[in-house]
Structures are given as C-alpha cells and as structure tokens.
Amino acid sequence: MDLIKKAIEVRKNAYAPYSNFLVGAAIKAKNGSVFSGCNVENAAYPEGTCAEAGAIAAMIASGQREIIEVVVAADSQTPVTPCGGCRQKLAEFSNSNVIVIFSNLNGEVGRMTVEQLLPGAFEKEQMRS
C-alpha cells in the first residue's frame, strides 16, 4: 500500500471529537518499514497528539531511527502541512532533503523538503559545546 493511501486510511481512526479534523500520517523508515499514526485529541485541550508524532513514536518503539519518506493526509480544502512541533520532530529523525508529501482527500498533493518546511531547524549538534 503506498504511503498516501496508508495515511488516508489511518486518518479514519483519529480521535478528534473536539475539532472533528481527522489527520493521518505514514512514514517510511530507512529499513523500509512503514509506520502510521492519527491525531488523538484530549478534553484537556491542547494535550493531544498529532498524527506525525504518533507515527514517529511507533517507529521509535520498533527500534528504527531514520525517516526516508513522509505523508500527511487530512480532509481539507487544500493539503495541510505538519504543524511547527511536528516539523521539528520530523527534522530530528530525517535529513533535510527528505520529501514531506501532504495530501487532501480530493487528490491534491503538495511536496516540500524538511528543510523547506523548517529552515534553520534546531539540531542536536547545536547542543554540543
């Protein structure tokens, strides 16, 4: 199953009773494994989890550490990009040239690199003295 279809399919499992904005994400790790996630809201708004964060957590839990491909899908008029926090999470586990694909349910698709989404990302190397 390609990543766009996977992201669209998993968004159906989202728990979004407050916003009713269902989001799905699918990522491919360097070893070829695919991980997915959906947004999970919480009554203690904004203590929810984004779809991208859920997919990354699943990848990390499996022992993988490097993303080579990302798709985010939502039912929106135009494709939506990851939020700022998720952009930083994606930057942590991929290189700046990884393509992030964002799609809506109408078949519209956008593409940007991680660097285009988050220029000047904070990197772990900056923490070393």
Let me know if 66 is a catalytic residue.
no
Q: How far is CA 32 from CA 8, 29, 68, in A?
A: 19, 5, 9
CA 45 to chain CA mean position, Å:
20
Active-site entry in 52, 108, 115, 123: 52
Q: What φ, ψ does residue 38 adopt, rounded to 5°?
A: -135, 160
SS3 content of the chain, % helix, strand, coil (to 5): 30, 25, 45
Q: Which residues are known to be catalytic?
A: 52
